[in-house]
Structure 1
């Protein structure tokens, strides 16, 4: 993620508000979370407030520091306090959707308006709904918290929409097994695998057809149109994120500029022009995605450099090493060390 994007105050405060509420429940002073960050607790109660990725990360780091030494994951505990209504208007749109599958599709499409820090993708599969989460910026200290919170909220939302019997088929996590790992299996009621390549929330495909009891077609249309109007106010930001999302689907075989343009239903020339208007280029976006993905994978010591290179679209480790040094100023082995 380019530095300018990390400093742009366009992130809704839903997640940070829930974090402040949890700190209160734990008997701590939530005002400490915001000191010197350019916003306060009153701002977190204002639905119009926006913060930057940088500000959000700093606040979460403070919360993790304040709660250090606990024998439970702060992200899992936080998700237990959140419900579908914590997602704001997007949550209401999901509540009024026809089926769980359509609600998931809507939630992914509108994810930026929920205040999510991670990026969510539904991987196509005939037998499973596979929700993949990735971190678009390099903050390894926050990854466990963010994934715990995201997967815990997924579970809460799915059980709200499909009923309390909903359970995923499996959970895959890219980080090592924590000391409180048994809490994961108790919560998700399915096999949980740590140290995997990606962060995946997997459930059987039949859940997609589950009707939602609170479905209301008119209300759903009204709130979706309202959300789209809001999204259009940041149309160019959303456009760049669309390019980012298309490329991120499979970095092993990066799409050409013309292929990305085709998926966006525009010419290659138009795509170049619109990216340039945002002080961005196809290669900058691709290189940044590759860098962030490589940094994430290098944290998994079970993967060789050749495997990491392949995952980010390089045919051999030598070319990957050269590119990585160009991106970061040092080699991948130094980073891993």
Structure 2
């Protein structure tokens, strides 16, 4: 094979990484909210992406870059006159930042606030990497897209900077503003709207995506040292997290959890994510997974949880976990845990 036609290992790794569903769906929820406010079809916006509107209400729900980028491209086509990143940052609920917002509010001053924001804010951190660089002009935050996707990256970086400024003004006061903003993309038609929002010079076609804040710390009225430390600890724990599932695995697991008594056939799950059944099975195999193993794991999770956390009879546990009878349930519990259902219920072994 000619060297020029060989696959790029780095590109292959990025391609796989793009399908890992490990990002909080803040941007997805914001887009759905914006379409709903405009009386546009939000269900059509997410169709074929492996999840539905009902999934966005689940606390543990996560999305991949591939899903988010497809959604952004659709929204850009449907809202062509909008600065999408800025629009979403301005329209979003501050409460959607949850623990991150509390951490910002508890910070001692604006320098601590920006440090925490750089490390832990969870909107685009899986898609855009933020890091601090102290220059002579102030505190510089550099945004580097994690995937080579210029059109989508422009929206993500714009949203990250706009959201950061909105949060900072809420915490430090309405007059808090960056000193300058620079974007790597070309100037959009609505560039003036960005300069009006940031209240500072905004440049385009720069070598880096950069936002510069004043270096002098400004006190924060809601500062609380203990709360700030606790938030940092909790945010760090959440950031470490567990092994993230791929978006395909997440889609299958959600479909299975809906009704383990009547699990959907592979073909219907494949159709929901715009794949053929053969392609879905091949991708699972490439990840070391199978539909049968995922189904078995979900039945185990449901059965063990029901035994440990409820007083339901074995007949009820078997029925809700998708077993035909208690004998099948007993065999499965023994295979999974090496214990009997009674021992699992008592916490023995």
Category of TM-score, reference length = shorter chain? 0.5 to 0.7
2:19 paired with 1:7: yes
Please give the per-residue CA displacement for 1:223-244, whole angstroms capped at 9, x wherever unaligned: 332223323333899xxxxxxx
Q: Structure 1 unaligned segments of length 5 or more: list them.
A: 238-337
Cα separation, partners in 2 of 1:75 and 1:232, compared to 1, 3 Å: closer
Specify the SS of the correspondent of 1:212: coil
User: What residue is the counterpart of 1:32 in the other structure?
Assistant: 44
The alpha-carbon deviation at position 136 of structure 1 amounts to 0.8
Specify the SS of the correspondent of 2:212: strand
2:225 paired with 1:201: no
State the TM-score, normalizing by the size of structure 2. Answer: 0.62
The alpha-carbon deviation at position 84 of structure 1 amounts to 4.2
User: What residue is the counterpart of 1:227 in the other structure?
Assistant: 235
State the TM-score, normalizing by the size of structure 1. Answer: 0.64
Task: Answer whether contact 1:90 1:114 (CA < 8 A) is retained.
Answer: no
Structure showing greater Rg: 2
Please give the per-residue CA displacement for 1:91-129, whole angstroms capped at 9, x wherever unaligned: 221121111111211122224x44532111111224401
User: What residue is the counterpart of 2:7 in the other structure?
Assistant: none
User: What residue is the counterpart of 1:334 in the other structure?
Assistant: none
Structure 2 counterparts to residues 75-94 of structure 1, below 5 A: 75-82=85-92, 84-94=94-104
2:62 to 50, 68, 80: 50
User: What residue is the counterpart of 1:153 in the other structure?
Assistant: 163
Cα distance in structure 2, aligned partners of 1:191 and 1:115:
24
Structure 2 counterparts to residues 16-31 of structure 1, below 5 A: 16-31=28-43
Cα distance in structure 2, aligned partners of 1:232 and 1:75:
27
User: What residue is the counterpart of 2:194 in the other structure?
Assistant: 184
1:67 to 79, 92, 111: 79
Task: Answer whether contact 2:25 2:56 (CA < 8 A) is retained.
Answer: yes
Cα distance in structure 2, aligned partners of 1:152 and 1:73:
11
Task: Answer whether contact 1:83 1:157 (CA < 8 A) is retained.
Answer: no
Specify the SS of the correspondent of 1:56: helix
Task: Answer whether contact 2:117 2:164 (CA < 8 A) is retained.
Answer: no
2:114 to 99, 104, 111: 104
Specify the SS of the correspondent of 2:108: coil
Task: Answer whether contact 1:34 1:41 (CA < 8 A) is retained.
Answer: yes
Cα separation, partners in 2 of 1:84 and 1:129, compared to 1, 3 Å: farther
Specify the SS of the correspondent of 1:50: coil
2:219 paired with 1:211: yes
Task: Answer whether contact 1:84 1:92 (CA < 8 A) is retained.
Answer: no
Task: Answer whether contact 2:184 2:207 (CA < 8 A) is retained.
Answer: yes
Task: Answer whether contact 1:174 1:199 (CA < 8 A) is retained.
Answer: yes
Please give the per-residue CA displacement for 1:202-221, whole angstroms capped at 9, x wherever unaligned: 12211xx1111122223223
Specify the SS of the correspondent of 2:192: helix
Cα distance in structure 2, aligned partners of 1:218 and 1:204:
25
User: What residue is the counterpart of 2:284 in the other structure?
Assistant: none
